[in-house]
Amino acid sequence: AYASRLYGNGGLVAETVELYENSDVAERYGVATVPSIAVNGRLAFIGLPSDTVLMEIVERYSQQEVY
C-alpha cells in the first residue's frame, strides 16, 4: 500500500493476509515467519523492510512476469 501511494497503483496489488488463519497461503508462498513479503508468487523478503528496501523490492519485481 505504501509503495502504491508513492508510485501510483500501476497494477500493484497489495494484500494483508492473516497467515495463522490461512495456513494454505503460507504454505503456497513458503512463508514460515511473519512479516514476509511475496511478490508475483515468490517470497521476496522476510521481516519488516525499511522504506528504501521495500521500494527496491517493488522496483525489482515489477519488471518480472506475473505468475
pLDDT tens digit sequence for 26-50:
898 888 888 888 887 888 889 999 9
Report DSSP state, residue 65.
P
Domain limits at 14? 2-62
pLDDT of 1 higher than 90: no
54 touches 7 (CB < 8 A): no
| 45 Rama sector, left if φ>0, alpha if ψ -120 to 50, beta otherwise | beta
Round the average pLDDT of the chain to a whole number and report it.
78
Number of independent structural domains in the chain:
1
With respect to residue 27, please indicate whether it lies within any of the assigned structural domains. Answer: yes
Q: Per the domain annotation, does 32 fall within a domain?
A: yes
Residue 23 lies in a domain: yes
pLDDT at position 33, please? 82
Cross-strand bridge partners of residue 46: 36
For residue 24, pLDDT over 90 is answered with yes
Cell output for 40:
508475483
**Is the predicted pLDDT of residue 63 greater than 80, yes or no?**
no
Residue 67 domain flag: no
Taken in order 1, 36, 27, 41, the sign of the CA dihedral is: positive
